[in-house]
Amino acid sequence: MHQANSVSLEDAQRVIAAGIEKSREIGQPVNIAVVDAGGNLVAHARMDGAWIGSVDIAINKAFTSRAFDLSTKDLGANAQPGEQFFGIQMSNHGDQDQSVAEVAAQAF
């Protein structure tokens, strides 16, 4: 059981497992990062074949999503011209990230 303002390692692992399952389903390996209410990294996983360059991106996306309380899709819609925001815990391939993130979030 988690407190409203925290994410336990168990919670994070459940979210990651759901994200990995969905990623395998769609055939796209991803990096998955889960942060707590303060934006601090709780857990990260890089699936075999996921881009190494996306490790930091996934972590930053998770932090930014938490900081703005918005998903990547919503952050992009609210961005000023020229701004780029990342907000979901996944990183590799745009729309696929969103579908994986939605399934992973449901596991929490």
Q: Is residue 1 part of a domain?
A: no
Q: Is residue 69 part of a domain?
A: yes
Mean pLDDT, all residues of the chain: 77
Q: Which residue has the higher pLDDT, 30 or 90?
A: 30
Q: Is residue 34 part of a domain?
A: yes
Alpha-carbon distances, residue 105 vs 52, 77, 79, 87 (angstroms): 23, 20, 23, 13
pLDDT at position 80, please? 52
Range of the domain at 67: 9-106
pLDDT at position 88, please? 35
Residue 69 has pLDDT above 90, yes or no: no
Q: Is residue 55 part of a domain?
A: yes
Regarding pTM above 0.85, the answer is: no
Neighbour tally for 68: CB within 10 Å: 13
Total domains in the fold of the chain? 1
Q: Is residue 4 part of a domain?
A: no
Q: Is residue 2 part of a domain?
A: no
Q: Is residue 22 part of a domain?
A: yes
Q: Is residue 3 part of a domain?
A: no
pLDDT at position 18, please? 92
